Amino acid sequence: MKSNIERWIAVVLMSFLVVSCSSIRARTETAEKDWTVYPGIRQDIKDMGGPFSGKSSSPAWSKGLVTTILIADLPFSAVFDTLVAPYDLYRIYVPRDSGE
């Protein structure tokens, strides 16, 4: 019984590590010309459709697991994206490669 509790604790702790990862990943993978507001939420929605598009040969349980993690990440991405929205707007209107 103790082993199961330790496993669940490990799963919960690892889940906290992936919180808002879509927001951070979207900001690091986005080209300057494609910068948008709320990119983490957009990334979550895009990634949710990926496993069920029929292009993946993953087993059904992994598709459900990925979708569950993305759904759990969505509110955290929304909060993080809201907090950094002023920075996103700045990046949209003052791009880095503008030469200034």
The pLDDT tens digits for 18-58 are 666 778 888 888 777 777 888 888 888 888 776 666 666 66
For the cut 80, the answer to whether the pLDDT of residue 9 exceeds it is no
Residue with structure tokens 């509110």?
75
Q: Is 59 exposed, middle or buried (0-12, 13-18, 19+ CB in 10 A)?
A: exposed
Q: What is the mean pLDDT of residues 76-86?
A: 88
Q: What pLDDT does residue 67 have?
A: 79
Q: What is the mean pLDDT of residues 1-21?
A: 70
pTM over 0.75: no
Q: Is 80 exposed, middle or buried (0-12, 13-18, 19+ CB in 10 A)?
A: buried
Angle of CA points 13, 62, 26, to nearest 5°: 65
Q: Is 86 exposed, middle or buried (0-12, 13-18, 19+ CB in 10 A)?
A: exposed
Q: What pLDDT does residue 41 have?
A: 86
